[in-house]
Amino acid sequence: LPIALDYVHAVSLDGVLRILLLAGGLVVNALIAFLLNVASFTVSRKTSALAMTVTGNVKAALAVLLGCLLFSVALPLTSIVGILVTLAGGAAYSSVRYSEAMLAAQTAFLKTSV
């Protein structure tokens, strides 16, 4: 009987540890999801809807590319071309936005210095 009680005590302690680990994991997951939502909301307020869409498309293309590299999946040529066009479009959009921001900053500087 004492051996049986020790076994029950060990199992219940193991069960409690598993529950605590699960609860801790859920809390960490919830915290990460909350921080992701805060970051997404902040970015949405500071950029345009077009910038968010371009970013989402580039993220999806990179996710597909990374998944194919990690899992050794071959892509058809049309998918590779689509990923390249998406990445090139994101780079072009980023370049144009950067140029416009630099031009606006230079214009604002010139207006304040005159």
How confident is the model at residue 19, as a pLDDT?
87
Q: At 112, is the pLDDT very low, low, confident or very high (cuts 50, 70, 90)?
A: confident
In this prediction, residue 5 has a pLDDT band, given cuts at 50, 70 and 90, of: low
Q: What are the pLDDT digits (tens) for 57-108?
A: 999 999 999 999 999 999 999 999 999 999 999 999 999 999 999 999 999 8
- Helix/strand/coil (H/E/C) assignment for every residue in 15-76: HHHHHHHHHHHHHHHHHHHHHHHHHHHHHHHHCCHHHHHHHHHHHHHHHHHHHHHHCCCCCC
**Residue 57 near residue 88, CB atoms below 8 Å:** no
What pLDDT, on a 0 to 100 scale, did the predictor assign at position 11? 57
pLDDT by residue (tens digit) across 20-50? Answer: 899 999 999 999 999 999 998 898 888 888 9
Looking at residue 49, its amino acid is A
Please report how the helices 77-113 and 49-70 are oriented relative to each other, as an axis angle in degrees rounded to 10.
Answer: 140
The confidence score (pLDDT) of residue 77 equals 97
The confidence score (pLDDT) of residue 49 equals 85
